[in-house]
Chain A
């Protein structure tokens, strides 16, 4: 984790909550019914739509580079080093560089990219 950035966001979260909620609910689709998705979790943690979608009017796929503004791959690899049966953030195909979006989705259920090829790698992707 990119600790500094995250702390900044946790702090901002308290002040910004109402503002963020406004954005979420105008988004309609992303409201309570989708509870448990990453967009909701990010919002709860003070990450606004605009933090990922720079262009408010053009909401499209977000490059992994964006995720790396707040998350650090080395720290992630450490954080999940003990995950069984294998570390999703440090693997032989991509080392620490796998595209986050292969597994984590923001507005729909995340997926386990490894599973189709490795039946035993049945970890749950948040």
Chain B
């Protein structure tokens, strides 16, 4: 079914090598039957003793994947139940099946259809669903080649050098075209979208002295989002012949005798199974696993006490790809926790006094908002903190880096207690307050007034001394909080997404534990691995996440259609 040639003789890069060695696959997490000579061989390599390997053969492993050292049972990876053909209510055949109608799946489906394939999309939700506003790419024509490479190097650094450079380059060299295409096709479906060009990317117009320009799609302003944009794009896709099946969560992949993926089984709300056969390939685009508690506790326990921003992302795609032979990136996945909504987004990285949920100072405030989660992981704080400033902030913070001040009149747009009509915000998420006394402000922010007052007093003393003895923040970024009215923005960072996933090659084809492509299986969006790798998602390129989803959807759709 696929004409595509094996690339296993090609030297494997460092990233892929590491994931093959340390990632989670049926090779390392044996189901009893898969326990073969090859499995033991690999365990020998990674230093597991024969005794531990035997332990893996014990009970339970017929139901759940079990670690090769016998220590862990992946009970979030239940083995797919066998489904008899007689239990299949209906079988339909297409060229390409896309699983998940989000930021990567809908572009993939449309792209495949435009390249001549007959495409079906299976979607868990009652409609296409996605989130966010900004998605970006590089405008190749107006950017220096050296600049593109400099940006790739910068992103490698952001990723703590734990990603696959080939995938970053795939984004870098194709994203301008892909994002422009998404803007055009979504607009045709009726979306409110604009190309903001390089404007939002002011900090990376020059990298290492080289020039870069960008294509930045913006679906908005809020409460309009990429969710609405993706629904518009889906309308264009329907016109191009793509067939959507809603309330149709996929539950397992179908493989032929050669282990090639050639279909998907989904279970409709009526409880009936449907089989969707794919002549060319299956593209998994089911997003992350933030709503699967056991899986989060295993791969990224840092998230235990944080709220979530999405729903129904239970990692279904991981289980499907895993049981088809795929490899999950090793423990220590990359997370994205933000709050751009409680107050102005442009002030979230400005180094105002910050106090935690009870009212204590906890960090050198030059740390970016996107990293604050690392200081607020405990059950009490659970991502909550407050930015605090006084009546003079427009002058005291006028020259601070990292953002743009919104004047007091504009802050009212973020104040739930202020009667002014709101615009460009999520009304239920705004959480900015002002008060004439510190005590009153503490109460509005939910802090303990005594703790809060003591923190402000201490901070004001440090400001007066011109030295931050407690956290070492530069003196010029220390502005006392002493003149009423006082302001507070109560932010609460929650899990926007987890962006580590399955091992893929640069064509987004899943690889098995031998590093061979699993024919017929593509993985894109946050389910795809290799693109990040750092502790937190980097905000260097604003809208990288969506930009990457659009780009890889566009690319994989083309690739599979041409098989």
Partner-B contacts on A (CB < 8 A):
63-65, 85-86, 92-98, 116-121
B247 touching A97, Cβ below 8 Å = yes
Q: A63-B271, A93-B311 are in contact. Are A118 and B428 (CB under 8 A)?
A: yes
Please determine whether B308 and A117 come into contact, CB atoms closer than 8 angstroms. yes
Q: Which one of B92-100, B125-133, B369-377, B538-546 is at the interface?
A: B125-133
Complex Cα distance, B18 from A97, in Å, reads: 43
| B76: A residues at CB distance < 8 A | none
Docked Cα-Cα span, A103 to B522, in Å, equals: 36
B270 contacts partner chain A, Cβ-Cβ < 8 Å: yes
Q: Could you tell me the distance between the alpha carbons of A121 and B428 in the complex, rounded to whole angstroms?
A: 8
Whether B270 contacts A92 by the Cβ 8 Å rule is: no
Q: What is the bound-complex CA distance between A92 and B428, given in angstroms?
A: 13
Question: Whose C-beta in chain B lies nearest to the C-beta of A94?
Answer: B126
Rounded to whole Å, the gap between the CB of B424 and the closest CB of chain A is: 16
| B interface: dominant SS | loop
Determine if A120 and B416 form an interchain contact, defined as CB atoms under 8 angstroms apart.
Answer: yes
Chain B residues with Cβ under 8 A from A121's Cβ?
428
User: Which residue of the partner chain B has the closest CB to A92?
Assistant: B227
A65 in contact with B126 given A118-B428, A120-B428 (CB within 8 Å): no
Within 8 A of A (CB), among B227-265: 227, 246-247
Partner of A116, one of B127, B129, B307: B307
CB distance from B286 to the nearest CB of A (A): 16
Complex Cα gap A93–B494 (Å): 17
Q: Given A65-B269, A97-B126, are A92 and B246 also a contact pair (CB < 8 Å)?
A: no
A119 cross-chain contacts in B, Cβ below 8 A: 428
CB-defined contacts of A96 to chain B, threshold 8 Å: 126
Q: Give me the interface of B with A, judged by CB distance under 8 Å.
A: 125-127, 129, 223, 227, 246-247, 269-271, 307-309, 311, 416, 427-429, 494
From B246, which residue of chain A is reached at the shortest CB distance? Answer: A97
CA separation between A95 and B227, bound complex, in Å?
Answer: 12
22 cross-chain CB contacts under 8 A: A63-B269, A65-B269, A65-B270, A86-B428, A92-B223, A92-B227, A93-B129, A93-B311, A94-B125, A94-B126, A95-B126, A95-B127, A96-B126, A97-B125, A97-B126, A98-B126, A117-B307, A117-B308, A118-B428, A118-B429, A120-B416, A120-B427
A109 to B269, CA, bound (A): 24
| Structural contact, B269 and A64, CB atoms closer than 8 A | yes
Q: How far is the CA of A98 from the CA of B124 in the complex (A)?
A: 11
**Closest chain B CB from A54 CB (angstroms):** 11
On chain B, the residues within 8 Å of A117 by CB distance are 307-309, 494
Per the bound structure, the CA–CA distance linking A120 and B308 in Å amounts to 17
**Residue of B whose beta carbon sits closest to that of A85:** B428
With both chains docked as a complex, state the minimum distance between the C-beta of B357 and any C-beta of chain A, in angstroms: 14
Q: What separation, in Å, do the CA atoms of A116 and B307 have in the docked complex?
A: 8
- Complex Cα distance, B129 from A95, in Å, reads 10
- Taking A63-B270, A64-B269, A94-B125 as given, write out 20 further A-B residue pairs in contact, using a Cβ cutoff of 8 Å, ordered by the A residue number: A63-B269, A63-B271, A65-B270, A65-B271, A85-B428, A93-B125, A93-B129, A94-B126, A94-B127, A95-B126, A96-B126, A97-B247, A116-B307, A117-B494, A118-B428, A118-B429, A120-B416, A120-B427, A120-B428, A121-B428
Min Cβ gap A85→B in Å is 7
Chain A residues whose C-beta falls within 8 Å of the C-beta of B494 in the assembled complex: 117
A93 to B426, CA, bound (A): 14
How far is B429's CA from A94's CA once the two chains are assembled, in angstroms? 19
For A65, the chain B residues whose CB sits under 8 A away are: 269-271
Report the separation of the CA atoms of residues A79 and B291 in the bound assembly, to the nearest whole angstrom.
Answer: 31
Bound CA–CA A116/B427 (angstroms) = 15
Q: Is the CB of A97 within 8 A of B127?
A: yes
Q: Within the complex, what minimum Cβ distance (angstroms) separates A52 from chain B?
A: 14
Chain A residues contacting B269 (CB-CB under 8 Å) are 63-65
Query: What separation, in Å, do the CA atoms of A119 and B307 have in the docked complex?
Result: 12
Among residues of A, the one whose C-beta sits closest to the C-beta of B311 is A93
- How far does the Cβ of A30 sit from chain B's closest Cβ, in whole Å? 24
**A96 to B427 CA separation, bound complex (whole angstroms):** 21
When distances are taken between beta carbons in the complex, the residues of chain A under 8 Å from B307 are: 116-117
Q: How far is the CA of A116 from the CA of B305 in the complex (A)?
A: 13
> Within the complex, what minimum Cβ distance (angstroms) separates B312 from chain A?
9
A64 to B125, CA, bound (A): 13
Residues of A within 8 A of B129 (CB): 93
> Which residues of A have CB within 8 Å of B125?
93-94, 97
Nearest CB of chain A from residue B337's CB, rounded to whole Å: 14
Q: In the complex, what distance in Å separates the CA atom of A65 from the CA atom of B270? A: 6
**In the complex, the 5 A-B pairs of residues with the closest C-beta atoms, listed nearest first:** A97-B126, A118-B428, A120-B428, A95-B127, A65-B269
Cα(A53)–Cα(B470), bound, Å: 63
Minimal beta-carbon separation of B271 from chain A (angstroms): 6
- Residues on the A chain within 8 Å of B416, using CB: 120
A121's closest neighbor in chain B, by CB?
B428
Which chain B positions have C-beta within 8 A of A94?
125-127
Least Cβ–Cβ distance between B232 and chain A, in angstroms: 14
In angstroms, how far is the closest chain B Cβ from the Cβ of A3? 22
Name the distance in Å between A102's Cβ and chain B's nearest Cβ. 9
Name the distance in Å between A36's Cβ and chain B's nearest Cβ: 28
Contacts of A120 in B (CB 8 A): 416, 427-428
Q: List A contacts of B127 (CB < 8 A).
A: 94-95, 97
B contact residues around A98 at 8 Å (CB) = 126
CB neighbours (8 Å) of B311 from chain A are: 93
